[in-house]
Structure 1
Amino acid sequence: MTVSELTRSAPPRISWRAPLCWVLLAAACLLLLLNALGLGADVRQWWLVATGQADSGTMFLVRELRGPRALGAVVVGVGFGIAGAITQSVLRNVLASPDIIGVTSGASLGAVTSIVGTSLFPAILLLGPWRLPLSAMLGAVLAGALVISLSYRGGISSFRLVLVGLGVNAGLGAGVSWMLLRAELPDLNSAMVWLTGSLSLATWDLLKPVALLVLLLGAILIILAARWLDILELGDDVAAALGLNVKAVSLILLGTSVVLAGATVAVAGPVGFIAFVAPQLAQRMFGTTHPTPGRAALTGAVLMLLADLLGQNVFPVLLPVGLVTSIAGAPFLVWILLLLSKKRS
């Protein structure tokens, strides 16, 4: 029997890694979500709440008190996970996440301006209840456009974009500090809480449009990226030979992810490291060659729900979710940098 006959006769190898990861992440997300809603493990209680038959106290607790916070954690995790996966995959650089290259800083400057800068820019008041998400999205888009335009030299270099992004990030951070110095106490307190990355400010009025936008843009990115990212992974020359317009596709994906990151920041502020950690963690769990937005979205939701759970129950005082993600994300960043240095040595 020849080698080719042996190969054809061998049964196909079935990998359970990806399905197992999907099941474990989905189960973890569901359990953490139920815990965030205060429902516990009572299946009957789940049904009563889902059908609106629970008592008024339980319905008020779930819908009004814990519902916005729980949904906010999922929206933020999904939005940052997808945005981070797209930027890291397109630029082929693990450091190219929205919170490192200045996108979230731009969203923060826009949002802080809408909170404390009404005396300087009275026109912001015309936006009404939409002023926070729209200002955050506008700030993110302007920051992303600035970073891409300054780093674009006949193409997008990930190394140059990260360096430019770090500089823009520092400049926008200075702008946020200047706005805070000019703020009065009531607005200053709100801005400071928001800047730490807190889910306590999430409301249904804010979540409904942002969740719809994150769902829409996230679905578009997942559908577009399903084929494009696999082709881009082969390299620009091979991708161009296969008929893909590399420059146009890269700009479309990056631009959409910037808008997605800006909308996500409006919910809970600039929550650190989720956009960086979720894609990398999902890539290592699933064993893929590059970060993928769908897997990163579910991983990001789990990380946000877990961080909020830890912040409310583990520490002696209540900690905002952004502080918890920063505490956990910093060692992960150091670990990734050590792995990269070992590969290059």
Structure 2
Amino acid sequence: MTVSEFIRPAAPAVRATGLHWRSLLCWGVLSAAGLLLLVNALGLGLDLRLWWLVISGQADSGTMFLVRDLRGPRALAAIVVGVGFGISGAVTQAVLRNVLASPDIIGVTSGASLGAVASIVGSNAVPAILLLGPWRLPLSATLGALLAGAVVLAVSYRGGISSFRLVLVGLGVNAGLGAGVSWLLLRAELPDLNSAMVWLTGSLSLATWGLLSPVALVVLVAGAALIGLCARWLDVLALGDDAAAALGLPVRAASLLMLALSVLLAGATVSVAGPVGFIAFVAPQLAQRMFGTTHPTPGRAALTGVVLMLLADLIGQNLFPVLLPVGLVTSIAGAPFLVWILGVLSRKGAR
């Protein structure tokens, strides 16, 4: 029996049909919401003629500057961050079978932050860093994420991957890396300190085409690879390690590969807008509950992440007297969700 044959739906036909229509409805609603939020982010409204003028480059210089240089990079950054964190969170949660195993909780995002802040505040001490140009932040953040992920995995690995042990180790590494970021900020010069502090809030305002061009490529390529390669693997792993091994899946190698790709994706994503909190944690769980799947799935989490990012940016720009960075909005909204998830887990454990 092959893997594809084994994971055919085993539920009754009526329930399968219901889930099919539920999935289609969720895809449609989320896609429509994302499109409307994108239209709002670009500020062009529903005037199709204006859209055509902008796309063809025939709009006036003020409109072209607004869309191309100000709102365009910001909207693309929100999409890239939503896709990157959504996929990364879904993969780590599904592989480790732990709701809390998201990059921003187990230390991966903090590692990326440490690498990025080091590249920002260390440019005066090591001028050669500036030679990397637009690749400076992406490479530093990705390297920091990979090192943090390697440390967490190495310390928590005991003949296998235990999600509980990995989350505990990740929390400790997260705290240590946060202290490292604080130490770098204390030693930074004032201009670098201001840049680092704005970046650490999780802001889309710093997004430029020069920064997005390399990062978007990494995120989209790695994200597409994750969706294409890992979707079936995640379905099989959801059955348990023994069942997955019986079906011919190399459990350890597949898990390590997916986690490595997830860490790579999270590191590249952090470099776009900083450590935007809770998207990697909330998007997969929200998508799983909306679509009714048995485990987090990358594609659905990516779409949910995009909608959450665009919505958070809309709220941050319009609902308060001052502009709030998107990272602050997601943290305010994500913290109660984390508390609720912990309450659900504690009630399940008490039964």
Aligned-pair CA distance for 1:12: 8.2
Q: What secondary structure is seen at the aligned counterpart in 1 of 2:177? A: helix
Give deviations 1:37-89, integer Å, cap 9, x for gaps.
00112222222222323222211111111100010000001100000000000
| Residue identity (%) | 80
Aligned to 2:304: 299
Q: What corresponds to 1:252 in structure 2? A: 257
Alignment of 1:200 onto 2:244: no
- Relative to the length of structure 2, the TM-score reads 0.93
In structure 2, the residue matched to 1:3 is none
* One-letter amino acid of the structure 1 residue matched with residue 329 of structure 2: V
Alpha-carbon deviations, 1:247-288, whole Å to 9, x = none?
A: 000000000010000000000000000000000000000000
Q: Which amino acid aligns with 1:273?
A: F
* Cα offset, 1:236, TM superposition: 0.2
Equivalent of 1:82 in 73, 87, 95: 87
Cross-structure match for 2:3: none
Q: Tell which deviates more after alignment, 118-127 or 208-217.
A: 118-127
The one of 144, 156, 163 equivalent to 1:158 is 163
1:93 aligns to 2:93 (yes or no): no
Partner of 1:4: none
Distance in structure 2 (CA, Å) of the matches to 1:213 and 1:137: 10
Are the aligned partners of 2:41 and 2:310 in contact in 1 as well (CA < 8 Å)? Answer: yes
**Contact 2:201 2:325 (C-alpha < 8 Å) held by counterparts:** yes
Unaligned runs of 5+ in 1: 1-7
In the other structure, the counterpart of 2:337 is 332
CA RMSD of aligned residues (A): 1.6
Superposed CA deviations along residues 192-218 of structure 1, whole A, max 9, x for unmatched, are 000000001100001011111111000
Which of 219, 229, 233 is matched with 2:224 structurally?
219
Quick check: 114-123 or 294-303, which moved more?
114-123
* Contact preservation (8 Å) 2:77, 2:207: yes
Structure 2 distance, partners of 1:110, 1:277, is 24
Amino acid at match of 1:224: L
Could you report, residue by residue, the CA deviation over 1:126-184 in whole angstroms, capped at 9, with x for unpaired residues?
32331111100100010011111111111110000000000000000010000000001
Instruction: Verify: 1:288 aligned to 2:293, yes or no.
Output: yes
1:134-283 alignment runs, 5 A limit: 134-283=139-288
- Given the alignment of the two structures, is residue 116 of structure 1 paired with residue 115 of structure 2, yes or no? no
Residue identity in the other structure for 1:90: V
SS at match of 2:294: coil
Which of 24, 46, 54 is residue 49 of structure 1 equivalent to?
54
1:11 CA drift (Å)? 12
CA distance in 2, matches of 1:221, 1:10: 31
Pairwise CA distance, 1:224:
1.1
Aligned partner of residue 16 in structure 1, secondary structure? helix
Taking the aligned partners of 1:159 and 1:126, their CA distance within structure 2 comes to 42
> Could you say what secondary structure the match of 1:156 adopts?
coil
Query: Counterpart of 1:260 in structure 2: which amino acid?
Result: L
Question: What SS class does the counterpart of residue 59 from structure 2 fall into?
Answer: coil
Whether the 8 Å contact between 2:135 and 2:214 is mirrored in structure 1 is no
Q: Is 1:314 aligned with 2:319?
A: yes
Question: C-alpha separation between the residues in 1 aligned to 2:255 and 2:17?
Answer: 34
Name the structure 2 match of 1:68.
Answer: 73
Distance 1:121 1:173 in 2: 22
How many residues align structurally? 338
Q: Distance in 2 between matches of 1:68 and 1:317?
A: 21
Equivalents in 2 of 1:309, 1:110: separation in Å? Answer: 29
Name the CA shift for 1:238/1:9 in 2 (closer, same or farther; >3 Å).
Answer: closer
Cα distance between partner residues in 2 of 1:223 and 1:54:
39
- Structure 2: distance between partners of 1:178 and 1:224: 40
Question: 1:121 offset after TM fit, Å?
Answer: 3.7
Whether 1:58 aligns to 2:41 is no
Are the counterparts in 1 of residues 37 and 311 from structure 2 also a CA contact under 8 Å? Answer: yes
CA–CA separation in structure 2 for the residues paired with 1:22 and 1:134: 34
Name whichever of 296-305 and 11-20 sits farther off: 11-20
Cα distance in structure 2, aligned partners of 1:303 and 1:81: 10
TM value normalised by structure 1: 0.95
Cα distance in 1 between the residues matched to 2:145 and 2:125: 20
C-alpha distance in 1, partners of 2:76/2:13? 50
Residues 1:89 and 1:9: Cα distance change in structure 2 (over 3 Å): closer
Distance in 2, matches of 1:76 and 1:334, equals 23
